[in-house]
Structure 1
Amino acid sequence: MTEKSTVRSVTYDLLRSLGLTTVFGNPGSTEQTFLQEFPADFTYVLALQEASVIAMADAFAQVTKHPALVNVHSSAGVGNALGNLVAAYHGNTPLIVTSGQQHREMVIGEPYLSNREATTFPKPWVKWSYEPVRAEDVPEAFMKAYAMALQPPAGPVYLSIPLDDWNQPLAGPARVRTVSDRVVPDPRRLRQFADRISASRRPALVFGPDVDRSGGWDGAVALAEKLRAAVYGAPLSDRASFPEDHRLFRGPLGLSMKAISERLTGHDLVVVIGAEVFRYYPYVPGPYLPDGTDLLQITADPAVAAGARVGDSLLGDPRAAIELLLDSVADGSERTAPEPMARPKQLPEVPSSPLTPPEVYAILSKVRPADAVIVNESTSTMAQQIEWLPTTETGSFFATASGGIGWGTPAAVGVALGDRHRGVARPVIGLIGDGSFQYSVQAIWTAAQHNLPIVYVVMRNEEYSILKSFAVLEQTPGVPGLDLPGLDIGAIARGFGCRAVDVKTTEDLEREFQAALAAGTTTVIVVPTEPQQAML
């Protein structure tokens, strides 16, 4: 407790106790009473726009496996943040998002910068939204926010705090509590699931992003190998939960009802762990499952279980469930192992100009360090990334969980800051489309300011390729606004303080990528590429 104990001093002591000493933010006038005399033992990470703030904190929390604290401006600032708050919500990332509110004595008159209906504004993309009734409730509100964010299903929460609350006198210390962040599955129902899996003739496993998030990567490999089961990647997964070069891996499951049903044909049982059933994108009608196929789902999220269109569900932490299943399922050594996935890896006989995405990925597969982490927001080339740059280690692949773009560029910053925070040194590769790069381009300023070891590879095809592919699928010709001529991405990157180079050949890309790895700071490599139709 300080000499003059206030709401602010008591809250900062609580934040220290909870390990929340890194604040991601973009300050505004109504937040300055919280940020005044910023403590030397805290770190403030400045981003130049609130959407970038959220994505940085999101990735930082995922890497550190600990809730992250965010401070954005009231009202309009919260509005800017909402797009990437959707990603944090879908990605089950524990964030405590705070914003200021106008002085309590003025709020009734709705003054300039007041946060109108503050607790309603961020819904439905937070688990809990609250504005303390009294100034003295602020520390306890933070404690509850921490508990809500961390408990399964984890996710973002929101606090609106009037600017005059922070300097109010308050005796401390705040009450500190601990909460569990895992729920084990019901033993009886798990035993029933294990028996059904053991009796399956040709099971398929679908591991979703929550497996990797829960630390279940090694268990997933062990379970697949014990069952001799084919493994598929969950649709539109924002984390990889199984080594994509493993002999049992059969690639992504697909994005539509028709594609997924066709992919699962021949399996009598599908076991989905840590994922929705299913995360569909284009509407291509078909059965939810092939005839003769049953489905079991294990998830920590009751809403995900309730929303499944087919199958039987079990609530529980994915890692805990996998480890319990390992001890319960029968050995599958008598099953016929699935055929390895075909990996054609075809390249043009003569180098293209501009390069094709596979040519870019082929070079990156050659020069990528083994410990590199990938953040992907090149939405039209993700299938080629899995083919050429398979994820082989836990916690080394990140993508947006929401489908909205503008997450990947700042998320790479959050990954690098998270690694630095936990004392890990590994390069971060941001694979970003030229359209995606524009949404949160200001995030590279933060990367440059912190000298982060990020190599952004921006594939410049001068269009929104994913949207053109969707237009073909949905038979909607003549959609405007899908071309992106005239962007000088290298000049933009240099303007934000980054190293930037434009390359045209595979030799140039290889040389400049290796130079970027040795640069000790952030580099943006711009590669003109041929447009291609995405695999939907």
Structure 2
Amino acid sequence: MAERSTVRTVTYDLLRTLGLTTVFGNPGSTEEPFLRDFPADFRYVLALQEASAITMADAFAQVTGRPALVNLHSSAGTGNAMGNLVAAYHAHTPLIVTAGQQHRELLIGEPYLANREATVLPRPWVKWSYEPARAEDVPEAFMRAWALALQPPAGPVYLSVPMDDWQRPLPAFTRVRTVSHRMAPDPERLRAFAERVSAARRPALVFGPEVDRSDGWDPAVALAEKLRAAVYGAPLAERAAFPEDHPLYAGPLGLSVKAVGDRLSGHDLAVVIGAEVFRYYPYVPGDYLPAGTALLQITGDPRAAAAARVGDSLLGDPRLAIEGLLDLVEDGSARTAPDPMPRPRVVPAAPTLPLPPPAVYAALSRVRPPDAVIVNESTSTMAEQLEWLPTTRPGSFFATASGGIGWAVPAAVGVALADREGGVQRPVVGLIGDGSFQYSVQALYTAARHRLPIVYVVMRNHEYAILKSFARLEDTPGVPGLDLPDLDIASLARGFGCRAVDVRTTEELEREFTAALRADTTTVIVVPTEPRPAAL
């Protein structure tokens, strides 16, 4: 006997049409009416905590380039997920985040497990937050959520659905639509920007994460080479946008107002494409731009354009804008080529124990496959990672976009799941600090259950090294809670079903990393490292 047509069956048919057949979540009682008799052609990815669920979906959507679906439990699950929802918002990740709501008949009395003011809770970290006024509106709410999540600037949306809505009778939903996900720049303003770029004596290009998201690597390289311009990495970028071993790559721009201003000194024009102007942290006062330097910004995010402290902006898809500039700018072969980024790569001849971070990264550089993707949350060793493990391919570097930690462990799971779905075979390497690792350690369970080819390298320095660096910079001595003794990370990883090893030397690290690449499951390698101040 065929199942009667209900809100639930109609919504599942719509989700199939939209390609939303993977659901990330941690089930709760208010979600069970949606999840009951879970269809065989759907996949449920179980995370043991909602913060991990939303980050797995975040990374999955970033790799696939399509919206991903997350199912949370009422207000409690939404609350658990909020920290990593902030990261998805800043990364412009198209997510449809759903949460179960109590039975409509009970809501007037604010019952147990009700999502009080459900549409307010996830703001301001979603583009749209909605609870359908009628059960019959649920499928159309999903249709609008999908369109909003995907349209530029992409980002997460939130739907709260009362648990009794799913069984309401409903005919088929037929108003399936398609939407554009690229926005072309204004041709006249783009031409004016091109004229200013052509007239610059020593332009600098700053490429940001939007370039990677828009598949803009190849035109970005072509533009830099045509202009013969230095290329800088945008501050605190969650994705790499230019090959970091290219002769024109001049390194990261810096983190503070002073650092950015100092780095741009000597350039008469900075062209920032696909990035905010700028992500600053920590606060070190200085000039937003050095004297004699102008700035142009091209971004697909109107909020980023409005928030810029300096410069003129142009809205548009970064790849389309770069391709337009490539046709419009004059050849810059007469310009003096900038000096490439120095790579000192100094490693102690006989590394001490615990290992200095450069020795760890030097060892990894010898065994990392060229196609490996890096998910980074070793915040105190970002400089060493750039020096020894530069990103040279598009879509192969990911980090949190919000600055909050606890993102990378589940994000590696999302990357590996997306690769598997797309038929891509490449190692996923998580470079994680021991403090960061604890925030979402339960994500290892999902990695092990799906036997994902992830190699986590956990740098065990027994402290929150990045916070100690900030304490020195901000002159705040005596901050408590910055030391992390007595963590047995390998035992924790084994408890979640992973292969896990402790290593002490670079030889052991190289041997175990190579073995992990051949393993048919997730491996956690714990490396004792020497605490060092971060480069801020």
Shared topology, TM-score over 0.5? yes
Contact 1:100 1:162 in 2 (8 A): yes
Distance in 2 separating the partners of 1:2 and 1:238: 47
Alignment of 1:343-354 (within 5 A): 343-354=343-354
Q: Does structure 2 conserve the Cα–Cα contact (< 8 Å) formed by 1:139 and 1:174?
A: no
Residue 9 (structure 1) aligned with residue 12 (structure 2): no
1:366 is matched with which residue? 366
The whole-number CA distance in structure 1 between the counterparts of 2:34 and 2:193 is 50
Q: Is the 8 A contact 1:416 1:454 kept in 2?
A: yes
Q: Secondary structure at the match of 1:161?
A: strand
Q: Is the 8 A contact 1:11 1:174 kept in 2?
A: no
Residue in 2 aligned with 1:135? Answer: 135
Equivalent position amino acid for 1:461 in 2: N
Distance across 1 between alignment mates of 2:2 and 2:207 = 49
Residues 47 and 93 of structure 1, relative CA distance in 2, 3 Å threshold: same
Q: What is the CA–CA distance in structure 1 between the aligned matches of 2:36 and 2:356, rounded to whole Å?
A: 51
**Map of 2:208 onto structure 1:** 208
Q: Deviations over 1:65-110 (max 9, x none)?
A: 1000000100111000000000000000000000100000001111
Q: CA deviation at 1:352?
A: 1.3
Cα distance, 1:2 vs. partner? 5.8
Residues 97-496 of structure 1: pairs in structure 2 closer than 5 A: 97-496=97-496
Kindly state the Cα deviation for residue 364 of structure 1 after the two structures are TM-superposed.
0.6
CA distance in 1, matches of 2:77, 2:341: 47
Task: Output the CA distance in 2 between the equivalents of 1:210 and 1:274.
Answer: 4
- Preserved contact between residue 140 and residue 174 of structure 1 (Cα < 8 Å): no
- Separation (CA, whole Å) in 2 of partners of 1:341 and 1:522: 35
Residue 349 (structure 1) shift: 2.5
State the shift of 1:173 in Å.
2.9
CA–CA distance in structure 2, aligned partners of residues 47 and 340 of structure 1? 43
Q: Which residue of 2 aligns with 1:69?
A: 69
> Per the alignment, in what secondary structure is the counterpart of residue 330 of structure 2?
coil
Distance 1:173 1:58 in 2: 28
CA contact (8 A) 2:416 2:453 kept: yes
Please give the alpha-carbon distance, in whole angstroms, between the structure 2 residues aligned to 1:375 and 1:173.
40
Partner of 2:82: 82
Tell me the distance in 1 between the aligned counterparts of 2:107 and 2:423: 44
Any idea what SS the aligned residue of 1:166 has? helix
Residues 371-423 of structure 1 show CA distances to partners (whole Å, capped at 9, x for unaligned) of 10000000000111000000000000000000000000000000000000111
Query: What is the CA–CA distance in structure 2 between the aligned matches of 1:300 and 1:359, rounded to whole Å?
Result: 40
Amino acid at match of 2:351: P
For each residue in 1:410-437, what CA deviation from the matched residue of structure 2 results, as whole angstroms up to 9, or x when unmatched?
0000000000011101100000000000
Separation in structure 2 between the aligned mates of residue 344 and residue 65 of structure 1, nearest angstrom: 36
1:33 corresponding residue in structure 2? 33
- The one-letter code sitting in structure 2 at the alignment partner of 1:369 is P
Q: CA deviation at 1:3?
A: 4.3
The separation in 2 between residues aligned to 1:350 and 1:507, in whole angstroms, is: 12
Q: Secondary structure at the match of 2:251?
A: strand
Please tell me the residue identity of whatever aligns with 2:98: T
- The whole-number CA distance in structure 2 between the counterparts of 1:521 and 1:427 is 11
Letter in 2 for 1:474: E
> 2:48 and 2:499 mapped to 1: Cα distance?
19
- Cα contact 1:457–1:525 (8 A) shared by 2: yes
1:43 aligns with 43
Q: State whether residues 139 and 173 of structure 2, in contact with CA within 8 Å, keep that contact through their aligned partners in structure 1.
A: no
Letter in 2 for 1:523: T
1:223-270 Cα deviation digits (max 9, x unpaired) = 000000000000000000000000000100000011110001000000
SS of equivalent residue, structure 2 residue 457: strand
**Superposition CA RMSD, Å:** 0.8
Partners of 1:411 and 1:474 in 2: CA distance = 31
Residue pair 1:10, 1:174 contacting (<8 A) in 2 also:
no
Q: Deviations over 1:2-37 (max 9, x none)?
A: 641000000000000000000001000000000011
Q: Is the 8 A contact 2:237 2:401 kept in 1?
A: yes
Query: 2:130 and 2:194 mapped to 1: Cα distance?
Result: 42
- Give the distance between the partners of 1:49 and 1:29, measured in 2 at CA: 15
1-structure distance, mates of 2:89, 2:136: 29
Q: How far apart are the structure 1 equivalents of 2:369 and 2:174?
A: 46
Alpha-carbon contact 1:2-1:9 (below 8 Å) kept? no
Residue-by-residue CA offset, 1:129-175 (whole Å, 9 max, x unaligned): 00000000000000000000000000000000000000000001341
Give the whole-Å Cα distance in 2 for the aligned partners of 1:467 and 1:3.
56
Offset of residue 124 of structure 1? 0.3
CA distance in 2, matches of 1:227, 1:89: 33
Quote the residue 1:513 is aligned against: 513
- How much has 1:340 moved relative to structure 2? 1.3
Matched letter for residue 374 of structure 2: I
- Taking the aligned partners of 1:383 and 1:507, their CA distance within structure 2 comes to 23
- Read off the aligned partner of 2:5 and give its amino acid letter: S
Is contact 2:447–2:522 with CA below 8 Å preserved after alignment?
A: yes
Tell me the distance in 1 between the aligned counterparts of 2:440 and 2:150: 27
1:416-459 deviations in Å (ceiling 9; x for gaps): 00000111011000000000000000000000000000000000
Residue 350 of structure 1: CA displacement? Answer: 1.8
1-side partners of 2:173 and 2:478: how far apart?
Answer: 63
Structure 2: distance between partners of 1:146 and 1:340: 43
CA distance in 1, matches of 2:521, 2:495: 15
The one-letter code matched in structure 1 to 2:286 is G
The amino acid across from 1:58 in the alignment is D
In structure 2, how many angstroms separate the alpha carbons of the residues matched to 1:173 and 1:142?
11
Q: CA deviation at 1:60?
A: 0.2
Structure 1 contact 298–314 (Cα < 8 Å) conserved: yes
User: Residue deviations 1:253-293, cap 9 Å, x none?
Assistant: 00001111000100000000000000000110000000000
3-state secondary structure, aligned to 1:287: coil
1:165 partner letter = D
CA distance in 1, matches of 2:173, 2:230: 54
Deviation by residue 1:32-57 (Cα, 9 ceiling, x = unmatched)? 00001100000000000000001100
CA distance in structure 2 between the aligned counterparts of 1:224 and 1:292, rounded to whole angstroms: 21
| Structure 1 unpaired stretches of 5+ | none
